[in-house]
Amino acid sequence: MKKDLISLLDVRDDIFDLLSLASELKNERQRNGRQLQGQTLAMIFEKSSTRTRVSFETGMFQLGGNTIYLSQHDSQLGRGETVADTARVLSRYVDGIVYRAFEHQNMLDLAKHSTVPVINALDNLEHPCQVMADLLTIMERKKVLEGLKLAYIGDGNNVCNSLALGAALVGMDFVAATPKEYSPSTPIMEKAVSIARTKGRTSECVIDPNVAARDADILYTDTWVSMGQEREAKRKEEVMRPYQINKAIMSLTKKDSLFMHCLPAHRGHEVTDEVIDGKHSVVFDQAENRLHAQKAILIKLMG
């Protein structure tokens, strides 16, 4: 039976095995492995990408497979073909599909009608591959995950949603500080709270960024204006200004805290130069770990 990665909940029972495999792949630098030799990965991208596209293409190459990149201009999706029909056709050509979508429902439809594994490379609800790389980065630096406090400050977007789930699944305390009108998904937060409770941990939303940052082991932010929200950029940036990560708010975290950002960063907006280039920052480790985490995911789903 095929397995998809649409939400981190899809790998809730495999998350530590995936992190262990990702660490192993990174440490051994298996750049010419043959785990996926002869397999082809279709990559459908409705949004632009640097890290996601390059890391998936590089990862498949290192595992012995190959990729086919399809933007909206390269496929019939951009000309009105249904997601379901696209899924049915591609399933007869390729061994797996990576999809970066605007709408989460389209992601669900693609997975429903595909007979090969589908991997969520970002939609408007979740970004699970990013958070797998984030957890790998934290594990490398902190040696443990359980019991840490992860504070997210900024827009309650897809990354925030997946972080809430990821933190709960590995036993971290999670707190998101966002403006009320830009809070994370209520159903996802309810799920995160439920999972966290079973592990004796907490998951919560607050308004005050200082409350979130206090004694945090990890401080995380993301761009204030996601792709597709450009029209509301000016107003949103005004609302988000008190949520900037700067030296003052970093001083509230633990002395050995980590600063994380999934990139691309808009310096001077959600984060200052002195933080993203400072001693706490691990943003480029995160970026590298997209490659290793996604190789583990590809092997797990397609191997």
Q: What is the pLDDT of residues 141-192, one digit of tens each?
A: 999 999 999 999 999 999 999 999 999 999 999 999 999 999 999 999 999 9
pLDDT of residue 269: 95
Residue 75 has pLDDT above 80, yes or no: no
Do 130-286 and 8-126+290-302 have the same topology in CATH?
yes
Is the CB of residue 258 less than 8 Å from the CB of residue 286? no
Please state the domain extents for the chain: 8-126+290-302, 130-286
Measured over the CA atoms of residue 291, residue 293, residue 294 and residue 299, the dihedral's sign is positive
182-212: string of b/e by CB count within 10 Å (b at 16+)? Answer: bbbbeebbebbbebbeeeebbbbbeeebeeb
Residues classed as catalytic: 100, 127, 130, 222, 262, 290
For 76-231, strand residue ranges (E) read 96-100, 118-120, 149-153, 173-177, 203-206, 218-221
pLDDT of residue 225: 84
CATH of domain 8-126+290-302: 3.40.50.1370
The percentage of the chain sitting over the pLDDT mark of 70, rounded to a whole number, equals 96
Residue 32 has pLDDT above 70, yes or no: no
Higher pLDDT, 78 or 101: 101
Q: What is the pLDDT of residues 242-278, one digit of tens each?
A: 999 999 999 999 999 999 999 999 999 999 999 999 9
Q: What is the pLDDT of residues 105-141, one digit of tens each?
A: 999 999 999 999 999 999 999 999 999 999 999 999 9
pTM (whole model) above 0.85: yes
Residue 30 has pLDDT above 60, yes or no: no
Radius of gyration of the chain (CA): 19
How far is Cα 69 from Cα 45, in angstroms, rounded to an integer?
8
Least confident of 41-55, 230-244, 262-276: 230-244
Which one-letter amino acid corresponds to residue 256? D
Q: What are phi and psi of 89, to 5 degrees?
A: -70, -50
- Topology (CATH level 3) of domain 130-286: Rossmann fold (3.40.50)
Residue 20 has pLDDT above 80, yes or no: yes
List the structure tokens of 148: 């840490």
pLDDT of residue 78: 56
How far is Cα 71 from Cα 78, in angstroms, rounded to an integer?
8
Mean predicted confidence (pLDDT) in 214-231 = 88
Read out DSSP for 154-176? S---HHHHHHHHHHHHHT-EEEE
pLDDT of residue 234: 86
pLDDT of residue 33: 78
